[in-house]
Chains A and B, each alone.
Chain A
Amino acid sequence: QVQLVQSGAEVKKPGASVKVSCRASGYTFTNYYIHWVRQAPGLGPEWVGIINPSVGGTSYAQKLQGRVTMTRDTSTTTAYMELSSLRSEDTAVYYCARGGAVGAAWGAGEHWGQGTLVTVSS
């Protein structure tokens, strides 16, 4: 069965960086896009960006351009989301979600990771 397992909670100081991992199993990793979505406490989801695990191509939310970097390691079927210059507003649960088949539309997220809480606090 499809599984996405994320790394554990992080506490970071303002200005630092955080890197969240998402290990995929149960399907061919390079065949499906991976979305990253975050959700601040009490608020709705916010799309962070997407990666094509086959070639590593990415697209990011405009407001996070320049601070977010998505990568993948096909040998370990793991996707990564790194966010730099952290500020308190970045405090949120970060999710990875499997999208559609590579080569087609990005697709909606049918399978989700368990979420990683990132807390930014001095």
Chain B
Amino acid sequence: EIVLTQSPGTLSLSPGERTTLSCRASQSVSSIYLAWYQQKPGQAPRLLIYGASNRATGIPDRFSGGGSGTDFTLTISRLEPEDSAVYYCHQYGRSGGTFGGGTKVEIK
């Protein structure tokens, strides 16, 4: 099973700031099998990025994904108050899917 480790665990940032979240895999993941989700309390996860760098429908361009192999990132430029949430990476390769433990982003 591929283990995904996310860092940092929590971020506290101000509106307008830029931040980069990290997702490290225990073995190489094909970029086409890596996604990022945003989840707010009481809601289902919302797909932000698929295939490591492709924005899902309706996702603003201040969200961007990158990386390859074992290291992937989600960058949020110009943070807005509504970006307060937990962010998860997810790999969905044929060996079985797994999720990272999440990064909580708090907006001051």
Contact = CB atoms under 8 A, between A and B. Distances in A.
B92 interface: yes
Contacts of A97: 44-45
Contact size range, A = 20 to 34
A115 B100 CA distance: 20
A55 interface: no
A119 B95 CA distance: 29
Contact of B90 (A105, A108, A112, A114): A108
Interface residues of B, number: 27
Interface string B37-64: 1010000111100110000110000000
Interface of A: 35, 37, 44-47, 50, 59-62, 95, 97, 99, 105-110, 112-115
Contact of A44 (B32, B51, B101): B101
Given A105-B33, A108-B90, A47 B96 contact: yes
Closest 4 pairs between A and B when the two form their complex, measured CB to CB: A47-B97, A108-B35, A112-B44, A108-B50
Contacts of A107: 50, 92
B44 A47 contact: no
11 contacts: A44-B100, A44-B101, A59-B96, A61-B97, A99-B92, A106-B93, A108-B51, A110-B57, A112-B44, A112-B46, A114-B44
B90 A106 contact: no
Given A108-B35, A108-B90, A46 B99 contact: yes
A47 B33 contact: no
Interface in B54-104: 56-57, 86, 88, 90, 92-94, 96-102
B102 A44 contact: yes
